[in-house]
Structure 1
Amino acid sequence: METTDRPPAHPILSAPFRVGDWVAEPMANQLTRGETVRRVEPKVMEVLACMAAVPGETVTKDEFMAEVWTGTIVTDDVLARCISELRKALGDKARSPSYVETIRKRGYRLIAQVETDVEATAVDGVAVEAAPGAVSLAAPPGLDLRRPELPTRTRPTVVLWALAAVAVVALGAVLAYQAGVAGVRPLATTPLTSYPGDERDPALSPDGSRVAFAWNGEAADGEPGAFDVYVQDARGGAAPTRLTNHPADERSPAWSPDGQRVAFVRCGVGGECGVYVVGAGGGAARTLAEPEGLAVEDLVWSPDGQTLAFSARRGRQGAFSLHLLPLDGSRPQRLTSPASTYPGDLAPAFSPDGQRLAFVRTALDGRQDVAVVSVQGGPVRRLAREQKGVTGLDWTADGEVVYAANRDGAAGLWRVPREGGAPRWIALGSDGGEIAGPSVARRGRGIAFAQQRVQSQIIQLAPGDDRGRLLLRSTRDDFQPAVAPDGSRTAFVSTRSGSHEVWSAAPDGSGARQLTDFGGARVSSPRWSPDGRRLAVSARAQGNADVFVVLPDGEARQITTDSADDVAPSWSRDGMWVYFASDRGDTWQIYRVPAAGGDPEPVTVGGGVAAAEAPGGGLLVIRPDKRGLWLLPPGTDGLPQDAAARRLPANLSPADWANWTVSGPYVYVLERRYDRAATVVRLDPATGRRVTVATAQDVPEDSGLAVFPGGQRFLLARQERADSDIGFVADFD
């Protein structure tokens, strides 16, 4: 079918709309009716939105092709399949339709009633329970209720930065190219800081004249010190004013609306956190609140000055959620309840009217969304869905959201309307580095942000070697290694091509070559087949995550097609099946699908975010709501028995879904500590005996773990670099 000389197409709705009994959310690719949430493929939603723009009118096949498949040559059966999937999702029938009617030899029309003035209902199918007024601070099931232990040198949100790191040179080239093509003159960026150590958490004063930030300085022995809060004139020149000086880390500065005070978070060595306030010119700090048992991040002040918002979680693991802290002495109120499998909800920012919070919601495999929720509670609504990670956001004075992300190989700033829609790129004349934590002036002009450089590399460890040897050298991010069963090849995820792809190399790291070409999709968790000829991998080629089998020539064959997220693949010992985790039901569960393709079948009922066949039979599973590693023994039918699950002594959280592997008769797990140190533990699933075989430092959250045959060499990721400076754009509104 030709793609040129088509009649003008109908527009596609992007805002939520009601069709019959269903609420459709085009930006979320989901349909909601009461408590029922169904997600559909992006093209299926576009077909529905195209018809909803002209309800009751016939949309011809050529019009569908021009609007939904612009510039792409496809056959009529592709449209027919989308219509079939849409009817299935809506519960409609072709012979007696209530929603979509077929107009023979012409096209289709939507016969159900359409309303366009509706609100979205959820993000990723997860209804957020938040009632007006006080919200219980009880931790969701499965969260660690022990007192938090946060690092004294590194913020947990460095994970957000590490997810999207790209090379400085490549970034500059991409941005310069985009600016030239678009005819956009980049905004002039002034570097406000270039001090040794790490300057982060920029907060621009309401009038745009000063920037508060956290800096860990440099101790006499050359090691980083504790973070303290400083204020720098946005015009530069003068030395910064130090507002705090404490042995504990003090971070996340937030300006009061009148610009006279700065609130901040102080977290001690044991993880106990408090919220404090100090005058913008210095002086004694005063306690605002000590949220007992909460690890606190990302503090922001409401426009009316009556409330603070922050991200927090209980303990060192589990999901961060958004909290409101009234300044009248009331207890904090929890506003969101993300699934415990997520790193959580981070980086809140108040809208100009103070009625909403925009924030970053992170999915299991690291994909991040820009979302918004009312301060009164209620459903979470997605504004933008990203592949590479979002590293902070803020609101503009006119009610748009500016966020930092890596889109299409370009790390920078983007802005999106509060109703959602296509993000617009903001050209910055920066000197490279990842952009993070944008902060916009409330009354005036200007935007501040961190320009940070984070790099993870794959190292090889041996028993007794605490430092390891760098195996793969590059200027990009390399992580989540895998070793072929015979030890002849390694595979890993890398951003060497400018986006996440799977690469392969010899056991000594030589001869690295790119295997996949997903072209910008987020890729994770490569796993070798038992014969060492194929790889299973999860990739977000169409927005949602699906499982692919990568052949020796690099061809990637998709073997799951559900509109849900399918992640963390692993092979059966005979190579006939691929296990994976999916949220296609009400909870995360383990499924398996024939390696050659076919219909997936459920494996667990008790939940799972990663699984692998156990050496002695049965299935090893990481639960979505519990810590540890669980062994499900085989039943008489060969399938694992959830009811007889036994917990093994492994300190793993749901976020560690990639940090373990099976090799020979043992299971090897990477147990991370709050200070980013980690131990490699060898576990015998039959006896439960565990032995620590290696230790490592500076291990990122999504490191991954691979073991060579014999268990004497291990591969994992190590963070080689993590520093940042503060940049400022004066001509921004």
Structure 2
Amino acid sequence: MITQPRYRLADRIIDPSQCTIIKDGSLLKVELRAMQVLVCLIKHAGEPVSRDMLLEEVWSGGEVSDNAINRIIGLLRNQLGDNAKSPSFIKTLPKVGYVLIAEITLVKEITKEEKFTEEVIAGSHIDERDAKERGSVKRKLFSVLYEHSSKFILVFISLVSLASWLAFQYFGNNPFVAPLQHSTELKRLTFLDGQEFSPVLSPDGKYLAFSQRELGEKSWRIGMMEIDSRSIVYLEDPMDNQGYPAFSPDGSKLAYLSFDLTGRCKINMVDLANGEFGLISTITACKSQMQATSIAWKLSGKSLFYIDEDHQYDYLTEKKIFSIGINGDNKQQITQPYSIGRGDYSLSLSPDGRYLAMVRNVRWYQTQVILLSLETGIWQDLFTVDIILHTVAWTRDGSSLIYRSLTGHLTKFNIESHSHSQLTNIMQPIISPISNQNGEIVAVLGDFFRTEVWRLEASQKPSLDKCSATNNICSNRYIYSNGKNDRATTDFNGTKVAFISDRTGVPEIWLKKNDGDEIKISNFETINNIKDLSFSLDGEKLLGRLNSKPFIFYVKEHKIKFIEITNTDEVYSVSWGRDANSIVATIDNLGQSSLKLIDINSGEIIKNLAGGGEYGKFSDDGLFYFTKRADGGLWMLVDGSEKLIVDNFNIRSNLSWSVINGYLYNLVNKFGSYNLERIDIKTFEKIAIKLPFEGLRGHSISVDSSGVVYVVISKAKDIDVISIEYN
């Protein structure tokens, strides 16, 4: 088996297998492409490495701009703590390239057979282990190993494969443990600079189709690559975006989604011959503004399944599965999902064509995987997870499904035994596994975005209207790393900010104080989806949800307490009550929402606040504001009665608005960019401030009492397509 050596670079430990750099017990995640460049420099340490050498060894001879290479080198220098003008690690050789000048030693000696090979993703092999001897290794072991890695590197090497991701116990509807599987190999297929998505192999395995865009671009195009030669052709479609390609059973056609910014949407088909695109024809129109689908051909090659919505409504409705002939006739609706959630948004046909596996969004951040027998019409609920799955894929024999679990790893679900087993074991997340008619699986490796927290003064409207994201007078890049830094929340006085970061490999709660120090304050024993994070008014507690379970986190003690709410169906939103002893919970009961005031100690319902209410918040002066699921506008409780106070008011999520110090702040999307609306809750005067940021995420803001606003900015990252070789 091919393994990855670790290197000691000066006082830093470089771990290509996990894409990490360890220094003084601190761990930093590194982009896969940046790690590949660093390994190339390590292999040629002390020797000049030209840009042509980088292109050949890292990008396999592909066309990459100088700016892309400069970005990677700059990123490496930043993560190594290097200085381009006075380098200690990477030195620039003008008109030549780069040279690694730091002292290098191997942490572990390797054999000739273990030599680094770019074709195989680092850490993609998982050793066979005796399932009976596997215990549930808790998250604490993972943290201890990393925090003290500089003290016992040899112990780290021998135990990391056991400690990392061994078993994770899901909350709520995910009670299963996914033990490690063996003999799984990941092989990188694309080496492009940019992002590839929705990949699929042709039936003969000779071609790979995918949608692709350059970093910074908004439009997607479909490419088709011959696997052996790596030559790529791109589809010339007159519309702005194309995606979700699907090969016909004989490989002679490719169906795909085509849409543009005006709202037009089509399911198209293009002829294929000798690795080239031919004539394009339209199978059917899809609902206006549809920008995602899922397509699977029937084995006859004369019709296909796809995802669409009801065209009779001009607003978003639940997604459904339809079938249609490739000439546009015989359109039939196959599924009728619940009215809550987004419906059936992904599907996959079994290799024998007898079953459809589909992913159904239920109860908001929860998805259900369902099996439909096309012969009998019988439905079977398989399992539910507390994340939004992109896809599911079939194994060759049709006995199992492969999906991305909450841990970010690929997991295999056996349909007969209803058992889950982990397939992959690497630091980088793997998303969107897709199988062809033969059960050959490809997926996407990496995160689409890294996220940062920015700080700005909302009271500076005149300057904000004129400034840019690079002007520190208007804003400040406040919290950042190479991973995700998200859901920032400030306390009332603005003395500290809590946020979610995966910089140590898994999502944890971090705290940043005014002195600039950033510390991890949580140490969860399971991998969690952390939502709805907010400070209590006194700044001593944090409220949030782990998956769908409300919790209180005591900031000074670093302790967590779960709130067991009595007689509830589903909690999908929480905020603080009038004081730190109560919370507001949005309860869902078969699609009907209500806002209830809950005691944090007993979990008992203190008061029903608003039937039909969806999101609600108490202001710092004790007034309650809320929105309704079925009615627009901003509402307020006045002497126990509901009063509409702002007619034209919509919010994007529970964290995209805030009420503090006499003002209501709300993030509003206007034609692709964001405004920060500030409403005086006494006079209802509204001021709209255009936010000058590219990539602003509209799901989260936090505001302190002086009007300082924290927003989340996303930056695109390189992602590639990999193939999954499994048993």
The reply to whether TM is greater than 0.5 is yes
Are the structure 2 counterparts of residues 698 and 613 from structure 1 closer, same or farther at C-alpha, using a change threshold of 3 Å?
same
Question: What are the Cα deviations for residues 14-67 of structure 1, in whole angstroms up to 9, with x where unaligned?
Answer: xxxxxxxxxxxxxxxxxxxxxxxxxxxxxxxxxxxxxxxxxxxxxxxxxxxxxx
Question: What are the Cα deviations for residues 391-412 of structure 1, in whole angstroms up to 9, with x where unaligned?
Answer: 32122243344334244x4x22
Shift of 1:259: 1.4
1:520 is aligned, of 527, 533, 549, to: 527
Question: What are the Cα deviations for residues 357-406 of structure 1, in whole angstroms up to 9, with x where unaligned?
Answer: 32334456634443345669999754233345433212224334433424
Listed as ranges, the matches of 1:263-412 within 5 Å are 263-281=255-273, 282-293=277-288, 295-304=290-299, 305=301, 306-312=303-309, 318=316, 320-327=318-325, 328-331=328-331, 333=333, 335-340=335-340, 342-354=341-353, 356-362=355-361, 366-373=365-372, 382-407=381-406, 409=407, 411-412=408-409
Q: Does 1:227 align with 2:220?
A: yes
1:680 is aligned, of 654, 676, 679, to: 676
Shift of 1:256: 1.3
Q: 2:166 & 2:183 partners in 1: Cα distance?
A: 9
2:185 is aligned, of 188, 201, 210, to: 188
Q: Does 1:447 align with 2:445?
A: no
2:604 is aligned, of 594, 599, 604, to: 599
1:472 and 1:509 in contact (8 A); partners too = no
Question: What are the Cα deviations for residues 430-465 of structure 1, in whole angstroms up to 9, with x where unaligned?
Answer: 7x532122122323x632111132322212133404
Alignment partner, residue 708 of structure 1:
704
Identity of aligned residues (%): 17
Alignment partner, residue 455 of structure 2:
460
Alignment partner, residue 635 of structure 2:
631
Are the structure 2 counterparts of residues 625 and 209 from structure 1 closer, same or farther at C-alpha, using a change threshold of 3 Å?
farther
Q: Does 1:489 align with 2:483?
A: no
Are the structure 2 counterparts of residues 487 and 339 from structure 1 closer, same or farther at C-alpha, using a change threshold of 3 Å?
farther
Which secondary structure state, in structure 2, belongs to the residue aligned with residue 283 of structure 1?
strand
Amino acid at match of 1:578: I
Listed as ranges, the matches of 1:473-552 within 5 Å are 473-507=480-514, 509-515=516-522, 517=524, 519-540=526-547, 544-550=548-554, 552=556
Alignment partner, residue 119 of structure 2:
none
Q: 1:371 & 1:298 partners in 2: Cα distance?
A: 17
Are the structure 2 counterparts of residues 325 and 509 from structure 1 closer, same or farther at C-alpha, using a change threshold of 3 Å?
farther
Which secondary structure state, in structure 2, belongs to the residue aligned with residue 232 of structure 1?
strand
Q: 2:136 & 2:230 partners in 1: Cα distance?
A: 54
Shift of 1:175: 6.7
Worse-superposed segment, 696-705 or 279-288: 696-705
Amino acid at match of 2:527: G
Amino acid at match of 1:191: R
1:396 and 1:442 in contact (8 A); partners too = no
Worse-superposed segment, 277-286 or 501-510: 501-510
Worse-superposed segment, 695-704 or 548-557: 695-704
Shift of 1:322: 2.4
Amino acid at match of 1:333: Q
Amino acid at match of 2:537: P
Q: Does 1:671 align with 2:668?
A: yes
Q: 1:313 & 1:512 partners in 2: Cα distance?
A: 48
Q: Does 1:414 align with 2:408?
A: no
Which secondary structure state, in structure 1, belongs to the residue aligned with residue 493 of structure 2?
coil
2:248 is aligned, of 216, 241, 256, to: 256
Shift of 1:516: 5.5
Q: 1:546 & 1:180 partners in 2: Cα distance?
A: 26
Q: Does 1:469 align with 2:464?
A: no
Alignment partner, residue 81 of structure 1:
none
Q: 1:359 & 1:270 partners in 2: Cα distance?
A: 29
Question: What are the Cα deviations for residues 207-263 of structure 1, in whole angstroms up to 9, with x where unaligned?
Answer: 333211111257xxxx536322121223x4331122334351111101112211001
Q: 2:315 & 2:558 partners in 1: Cα distance?
A: 37
Which secondary structure state, in structure 1, belongs to the residue aligned with residue 638 of structure 2?
coil
Q: 2:378 & 2:638 partners in 1: Cα distance?
A: 40
Question: What are the Cα deviations for residues 490-546 of structure 1, in whole angstroms up to 9, with x where unaligned?
Answer: 112222343333222114753333246353232211121121211211123xxx523
Q: 1:208 & 1:691 partners in 2: Cα distance?
A: 57
Q: 1:700 & 1:391 partners in 2: Cα distance?
A: 22
Alignment partner, residue 559 of structure 2:
555
Q: 2:536 & 2:208 partners in 1: Cα distance?
A: 52
Question: What are the Cα deviations for residues 239-298 of structure 1, in whole angstroms up to 9, with x where unaligned?
Answer: 112233435111110111221100111111112211110012311211111124351423
Q: 2:523 & 2:686 partners in 1: Cα distance?
A: 36
Q: 2:657 & 2:703 partners in 1: Cα distance?
A: 9
Shift of 1:177: 6.1
Q: 2:620 & 2:334 partners in 1: Cα distance?
A: 43
Are the structure 2 counterparts of residues 528 and 561 from structure 1 closer, same or farther at C-alpha, using a change threshold of 3 Å?
same
Are the structure 2 counterparts of residues 610 and 720 from structure 1 closer, same or farther at C-alpha, using a change threshold of 3 Å?
same
Shift of 1:553: 0.7
Q: 1:174 & 1:233 partners in 2: Cα distance?
A: 37
Amino acid at match of 1:252: Y
Q: 1:718 & 1:496 partners in 2: Cα distance?
A: 16
Q: 2:373 & 2:654 partners in 1: Cα distance?
A: 32
Which secondary structure state, in structure 2, belongs to the residue aligned with residue 553 of structure 1?
coil
Question: What are the Cα deviations for residues 650-697 of structure 1, in whole angstroms up to 9, with x where unaligned?
Answer: 2324xx22211111111111123574x322111234444321134154
Q: 1:243 & 1:418 partners in 2: Cα distance?
A: 37
Worse-superposed segment, 244-253 or 479-488: 244-253
1:679 and 1:693 in contact (8 A); partners too = yes
Amino acid at match of 1:438: P
Are the structure 2 counterparts of residues 185 and 379 from structure 1 closer, same or farther at C-alpha, using a change threshold of 3 Å?
closer
Shift of 1:599: 0.9
Which secondary structure state, in structure 1, belongs to the residue aligned with residue 534 of structure 2?
strand
Alignment partner, residue 565 of structure 1:
570
Amino acid at match of 1:324: F
Q: 2:361 & 2:561 partners in 1: Cα distance?
A: 27
Alignment partner, residue 587 of structure 1:
592
**Length, aligned pairs only:** 540
Which secondary structure state, in structure 1, belongs to the residue aligned with residue 418 of structure 2?
coil
Which secondary structure state, in structure 2, belongs to the residue aligned with residue 392 of structure 1?
coil
Alignment partner, residue 139 of structure 1:
none
Alignment partner, residue 216 of structure 1:
213
Q: 2:422 & 2:476 partners in 1: Cα distance?
A: 40
2:453 and 2:477 in contact (8 A); partners too = yes
Alignment partner, residue 423 of structure 1:
420
Q: 2:522 & 2:492 partners in 1: Cα distance?
A: 18
TM-score (norm 1): 0.66
Which secondary structure state, in structure 2, belongs to the residue aligned with residue 383 of structure 1?
strand
Which one scores higher on RCO, CA 8 angstroms, separation ≥ 6? Answer: 1
Q: 1:323 & 1:497 partners in 2: Cα distance?
A: 39
Q: 2:423 & 2:520 partners in 1: Cα distance?
A: 33
Q: Is there any run of 5+ residues in structure 2 with no aligned partner, and where?
A: 1-134, 138-155, 168-178, 459-463, 470-474
Are the structure 2 counterparts of residues 674 and 191 from structure 1 closer, same or farther at C-alpha, using a change threshold of 3 Å?
farther
